[in-house]
C-alpha cells in the first residue's frame, strides 16, 4: 500500500531536519494522492527540481520514484517557478517542497531514477 502524499511529505521533511537541512511545504496538494515536486536551492543562485517518475518508469506501484526535472540541470529560480506553474495547469493538486542545501542533497536515495 502506497503512503499518502501528506504522510510522505511529513516523513521527507523530518528526514531533511535530521540532517539539519531546512525543508518546507511551499504548496499543499491533495492529501491522498497529490503529485510531489522537490525544489533544492543550492544557495548559489541555482536550483535542482525533482518530480514523480512517469507511469511505467517506476519499479513498483507501492513506492514513490523520482526523476530529475528540467533535464537534470541546475537552473534559476525563475525556471523552476515557470516549470511548476505549467505542471499546476495540468494538476492543481500538486505539492511543492523547498529544500535549502549548499551540497544540493535531495535525500531521495535509490528512489531517484536517472535516465
In order along its 115 residues, the chain shows pLDDT tens digits of 689 999 999 999 999 999 999 999 999 999 998 999 999 999 999 999 999 998 766 556 668 999 999 999 999 999 999 999 999 999 999 999 999 999 999 999 999 998 7
- Domains contained in the chain, number: 1
- At residue 60, the pLDDT reads 61
Question: What is the reported pTM?
Answer: 0.93
- At residue 58, the pLDDT reads 55
Answer positive or negative: Cα dihedral of 3, 71, 92, 38. Answer: positive
Residue/partner pairs of 54-59 with CB below 8 Å, 24 or more apart: 57/113, 58/113
Q: Which residues of 70-106 are buried (b: 16+ CB within 10 A; e: fewer)?
A: beeeebeeebbeebbeebbeeeeebbbbbbebeeeeb
CATH code (residue 101) = 3.40.1530.20
- At residue 108, the pLDDT reads 96
- At residue 114, the pLDDT reads 84
Which structural domain, as residue segments, surrounds residue 84? Answer: 5-111
Amino acid at each position: 500500500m502506497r503512503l499518502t502524499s501528506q504522510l510522505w511529505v511529513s516523513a521527507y521533511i523530518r528526514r531533511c531536519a535530521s540532517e539539519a537541512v531546512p525543508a518546507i511545504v511551499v504548496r499543499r496538494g491533495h492529501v491522498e494522492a497529490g503529485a510531489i515536486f522537490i525544489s533544492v536551492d543550492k544557495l548559489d543562485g541555482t536550483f535542482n527540481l525533482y518530480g514523480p517518475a512517469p507511469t511505467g518508469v517506476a519499479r513498483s506501484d507501492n513506492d514513490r520514484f523520482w526523476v530529475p526535472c528540467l533535464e537534470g540541470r541546475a537552473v534559476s529560480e525563475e525556471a523552476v517557478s515557470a516549470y511548476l506553474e505549467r505542471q499546476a495547469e495540468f494538476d492543481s493538486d500538486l505539492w511543492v517542497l523547498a529544500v535549502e542545501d549548499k551540497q544540493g542533497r535531495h535525500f531521495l536515495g535509490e528512489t531517484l531514477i536517472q535516465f
